[in-house]
Amino acid sequence: MENMASLALKNILQEFPKSMKFCFAYGSGAFKQMKSDPTKNMLDLIFVVRNSSYWHTENLAKNSHHYALPLRYLGPNIVAKVQENWGANIYYNTLIKTTNNRLIKYGVISEKCFVEDLLDWNSLYLAGRLHKPVQVIVKPDENSPIQMALNQNLKSAVHAALLLLPENFTENDFFKVITGLSYHGDFRMIFGEDKSKIDNIVMPQMDNFRELYSPILKHFEYCVDIPKNQPADMIICHQDSSPSTKIHHLNQLPRMPQVKLVRKWSQGPRSKDMEDCLRAIAHDPDCSEILQQALCDIVWRSSITQSLKGIITAGFMKSIKYSSAKIMKMMKSNNEKKKQQLSKLPQSPKSISKINNITEKDIENKNTSINTKASDNKQEHAP
């Protein structure tokens, strides 16, 4: 039997055109994060559609007020071109109120672009979001390209994470590295996003992460051992980190990270043979750092271009409102973290006693003494 949350999400879809191949909710509006109530946060949705222009034609007829000016009046073909030619191939409408008063943001992407990002990590935008648990609202067909690409995307995430991790690591480390694949390099993590975002996502959702990756990790038993039935921070995992295993992981990475790796290793646009480069990187002691930089380059570019595109698709005022909310959330989280750190600082009983014993009279006497000294100084220097 479907739970109430799932039914509520499906009811939201009644307000949109039906021609969706896949739909999911993600983020703090779909899942509980640390110190966060999903029902009070904006709900993020992704609609994967067969034909973007056709879908926007229907949606403009039903929900034209969702679109910012002047795109609202330029027609579905222009909207589809903006979607598919700029940024991460997604068109977002943000700060939308549904009929049941739920605040949502929804992104539209074509099936072709969606599958390409999952397989190749061209932008690591939606591929990265799908490295984490999501709430599926419209399931893809079992044998569709989407389902195949979803599974491959998770396998690619494990290959990349194992290359970034040391020989021994905890289960917590494993899922944090996977979550961080699409955050390290995002310019919004410098200013605009909560610096504790990765911890906030992983810690409350450990069971969801295990459920998501359990069938995937069966394909990796030859190279990594992750014990079960223990607390996540107590589970010590061990992997084979030999060059031959690293070569295998590098060969299984998506196309765009491989291209970036070869360019970095070749030190320029003229690429050497990919197989030779990947073999050399596998033997390099800085293999993980080289891969991390390649992934950061992908994320950096897509995060900037998609954010700039958001100013056009959301409109200037909505963009300011959305960005301000992100910054306020980040500042609140940083202040809470500072308070926690200060509360953990050791204080000696003497210093606490001294502070507690200071009275208003002591302060008054101190002020009188300062004023008297100032008066004496004036008399001494008077002509």
**Sequence ranges of the domains in the chain:** 4-337
pLDDT at site 336: 60
pLDDT digits (tens, 9 = 90+) for 241-300: 999 999 999 999 999 999 999 988 887 655 578 999 999 999 999 999 999 999 999 999
Tokens of residue 97, six digits: 């109120």
Q: For the sheet containing 43-49, what is the strand order?
A: 91-97, 103-110, 43-49, 22-26, 135-138
With a cut of 70, say whether residue 335 has pLDDT above it: no
pLDDT digits (tens, 9 = 90+) for 114-123: 999 999 999 9
pLDDT at site 35: 65
CA dist 299 → 14, 86, 195, 294 (Å)? 33, 15, 16, 9
Rounded percentage of the chain residues whose pLDDT exceeds 70 = 78
The CA-based dihedral angle spanning residues 122, 125, 127, 132, taken in that order and rounded to the nearest 10 degrees: 160
Q: If pLDDT is split at 50, 70 and 90, which confidence band does 52 have?
A: very high
pLDDT at site 37: 75
List all residues 6 or more positions away from 27 whose beta carbon is below 8 Å from its beta carbon.
41, 42, 43, 44
Q: Which of 202-206, 281-285, 370-374 has the lowest mean pLDDT?
A: 370-374
Helix (H, G, I), strand (E, B) or coil at 66: helix
Cα 90 from Cα 31, distance rounded (Å): 22
CA dist 109 → 47, 52, 82, 295, 357 (Å)? 6, 7, 11, 22, 65
pLDDT at site 152: 98
Give φ, ψ of 23 to 5 degrees. Answer: -150, 135
With a cut of 50, say whether residue 309 has pLDDT above it: yes
The CA-based dihedral angle spanning residues 15, 19, 25, 29, taken in that order and rounded to the nearest 10 degrees: -20
SS3 string, 6-32, reads HHHHHHHHHHCCCCCCEEEEECCCCCC
pLDDT at site 185: 84
Q: What is the mean pLDDT of residues 204-212?
A: 94
Q: What is the mean pLDDT of residues 147-169?
A: 97
pTM for this predicted structure: 0.82
Q: Which residue is it, tokens 């917590």?
A: 172
Q: What is the mean pLDDT of the chain?
A: 85
Residue that wins the pLDDT comparison between 332 and 370: 332
